[in-house]
Structure 1
């Protein structure tokens, strides 16, 4: 029986090593390539044509969401499983909207990763059971914010989250490998979309959406 080929995308070498050990002990699954940035993942996807991509969201460079969008634009049949530290519904909804076929968290049991890969490879979708309670529902008073956040580009969303968490423009530029002026422009655009004048207002909106927690 042909094994399910997997492209593993995560910027932490230790995390990738853990995935390798887990999947190496699983019959029917093999990792055919690894990447630590979204840019490399897009190229490797074209070269290797894996059955499933296991993708982290929080990475330097273009980031996970933009990587997801680019791969799905090139191949609408791509099977991508997001494997992230984020368990908030806004992340799940954005990932699925961008084309992901599944979403699980890094706190999940090892067997959940295996089940998710197998289900997605077989043509299904997989949302971690603990996340199904919050996805895709949201509070009525958050509806306007949710509609607006869904209009943000992947990079705007990354900047929005980091601004809301209190990072300075310089730190965000370093984190995302962007220029200071570029991040400042993103910040201006984000404030305009939310009709917010301060970072504190953005933090309040992010908290209402569940992007950050008190």
Structure 2
């Protein structure tokens, strides 16, 4: 089989180093790039190459969901695996909607990342064990259960606004029109009795949805 080239996108050098050692133990696998920011990713995209990209959703200068869409717009055939601290089904669904083929949380056993890369490189979709468990339970897991007043889509918009996204960026991230995003925000304000994005962020802090 031809060598498998992997790029690691995470802002923590120790995390990247640890996973690099793990992945390069697999025969024929090589980590061709360690990338720590959206800016570095943009520069690497000009000439770098890989078969699988492992990406954290939280970078200091960019949102992983937006970056996935940008990367895949330039390289539609690239297999992306999300490796994230977030285990809520909202994040999983948004990542898959953006084009990711795999989703593994950072609490998972290290071998799960190996399994995910092996699966997506073969054209399959892979969800980590803890993510699959949430889905099989038929319950909302992680963060979204703290927003029972909202629909699933409204909860997605709420979380993105709480993370500091503009309405236009929310629309681009989850693939809806600006008009629809504004309508969702208006519904959120009404249901949660909010008057501003500042109050929305304060509520997100109170409920432990953002740090």
The TM-score range, normalised by the shorter chain, is 0.7 to 0.9
Q: CA RMSD in A?
A: 3.2
Cα distance, 1:96 vs structure 2: 0.7
Name the counterpart of 2:209: 212
What TM-score do the two structures reach when normalised by structure 1?
0.71
For 1:201 and 1:102, the matched residues in 2 are separated by 31
Q: In the superposition, relative to structure 1, how do residues 131 and 160 fare at CA in structure 2: closer, same or farther (>3 Å)? A: same
Alignment of 1:45-124 (within 5 A): 45-124=45-124
Name the counterpart of 1:160: 162
5+ residue gaps, structure 1, are: 164-188
SS in 2 for 1:47: coil
Q: In the superposition, relative to structure 1, how do residues 78 and 151 fare at CA in structure 2: closer, same or farther (>3 Å)? A: farther
Give the length in aligned residue pairs: 182
SS in 2 for 1:34: strand
Name the counterpart of 2:152: 146
User: Contact between 1:23 and 1:31, CA under 8 Å: does it hold in 2?
Assistant: yes
Name the counterpart of 1:166: none
User: Contact between 1:104 and 1:128, CA under 8 Å: does it hold in 2?
Assistant: yes
For 2:25 and 2:128, the matched residues in 1 are separated by 22
User: Contact between 1:10 and 1:36, CA under 8 Å: does it hold in 2?
Assistant: yes
Cα distance, 1:124 vs structure 2: 0.6
Give yes or no for the alignment of 1:2 onto 2:8.
Answer: no
Name the counterpart of 1:22: 22
For 2:73 and 2:156, the matched residues in 1 are separated by 18
Superposed CA offset, 1:41-92 (max 9, x none): 2442452231100000111112212211111222332210000111111111
Q: In the superposition, relative to structure 1, how do residues 26 and 35 fare at CA in structure 2: closer, same or farther (>3 Å)? A: same
